[in-house]
Structure 1
């Protein structure tokens, strides 16, 4: 179903992404907010900051920041008003719009997002909300208001032995590659089209067709823009 209708190892793991510019060596960072940029040891909080795409196959979204989209739950037979079922972090089609801030708090990645809707269906109650990765490996966006998700992890990247600037988001054991697919405007996308992103890993292929990527889906990375 698509989501809109202990200490990490320090071993180096190499992945070859055939259509991407270079081979990338991934080094996992320790769990906890101290591994994130702008960490304040007095408060235990890192951030806030936003995300940024890095070395994406699609040139139209290289260096773009992040937004969010939410799924609406409303059954007039039982619900007094609409609510937000869950939401996920996305990439906009334009980079000149407001971005969704993120931070690390209590050793978890959070986003400041709408968590409820008014009776008229307008987003409200913006607050810091924990993020996780979907437990469905073939459809694994960066989610909020989702129960049973997997932890988000952070990594360093190396190319030809040279450490690249920045901290990169991923999950599973040592996975930092994401898929990006254009999606038209829909309820919960603030009136704008966007790019849906999902973490790619060992079991991210379509369970029915076996295809590694969805139609018109491209690949790339996500880093913290601090």
Structure 2
């Protein structure tokens, strides 16, 4: 299982958030109705509710806002995506890929997604969704979580997962590290059965983990 944190210039509520500098939106839940409508619940924290509500009414990505719960500086809203918002929504892709949204927040600076993915390929398709729409997306954190003892997610003596260990061994066997190289990234990916982008990510994570657990100084303060 891959746990990824991404910063995204996501269109949904972008217009509303651009009018509020001190508001944080936290996604709570999404539901797809039988008619294909996309409803979502979001918590809104801050002290600019008047500006937020006014901007919300004119936002092209949402409609039919309903305040479900109200506190002094915190409100729960139910929103429905407009056709424009539905086209921009990545939620159907997350469901299709078997991903799990662990934490999703937004401010005037953009959206922060923390998502668990079942594979490198699922993460790659999630990332590509935004690239294909010419949206800015930045992968900030990524690590693999072990799935079970003896499974492909377990760690080796150097802290690498078996997937990472497999990638490094395959790189040596195929000549990817030779000078000059006798194997391309695409050919290495074919050996592993994954895309070149996924191969590059897995290889670099494996090398980084190997270095940190072997030659990298254990105590950086000295």
TM-score bracket for the superposition, by shorter chain length: under 0.3
Indicate the structure with greater strand content. Answer: 1
Q: Who wins on radius of gyration, i.e. which is larger?
A: 2
Indicate the structure with greater helix content. Answer: 2
Name the TM-score, length of structure 2 as normaliser: 0.21
